[in-house]
Amino acid sequence: MIEYCRNVLGLTNADHAESNPAAALPLIAPLPCALRETESRIHLNPGSRARAIYERAEISEPFNCGFGLNPQHHQLFCKTALKITGVGDDGIARVVELDDHPFFMATLFQPERSAFNNTPHPLIVAFLQTAAAV
């Protein structure tokens, strides 16, 4: 998201508050409520790739993070190809997708953690299917 802001939107001062606490545009900032070793509900937008993959409007996923998209900057993505397509109950972005790309999705949760349960995660499966078809 930082690179998209810098190189597509021209916001060269977009940065990550963890590595640059004095950032002029802290695009990635501490979450109001850190999601440490917890599971949280996510609401997926109609028409999003994530919603099509999960085949439902609401999911629950594990988190272990303290930083995410600064809610003050959500509006930067309203009319861009990089869309916020999933939000938590608090309205904070949890999933973003890039239109017109075979499979560009970023999540605040960690799909790879499904390996702890020997369960293939739907997003990982969909990514592999897309990569195999390209």
pLDDT in tens, 25-66: 999 998 876 666 678 899 999 999 999 999 999 999 987 778
**6 three-state secondary structure:** helix
Confidence at 127, pLDDT banded by 50, 70, 90:
very high
What range defines the domain where residue 6 resides?
A: 2-133
Contact assessment for residue 69 and residue 1, using Cβ atoms and an 8 Å cutoff: yes
What is the domain count for the chain? 1
**3-state SS string for 88-120:** ECCCCEEEEEECCCCCCEEECCCHHHHHHHCCC
pLDDT in tens, 55-69: 999 999 987 778 889
Return the percent helix, strand and coil in the chain, to nearest 5.
30, 40, 35
pLDDT at 62: 83
Contact assessment for residue 129 and residue 120, using Cβ atoms and an 8 Å cutoff: no
Buried b (16+ CB within 10 A) or exposed e, 115-129: eeeeeebebeebbee
pTM over 0.85: yes
Strand partners for 40: 61
CATH code: domain of residue 58: 3.40.50.880
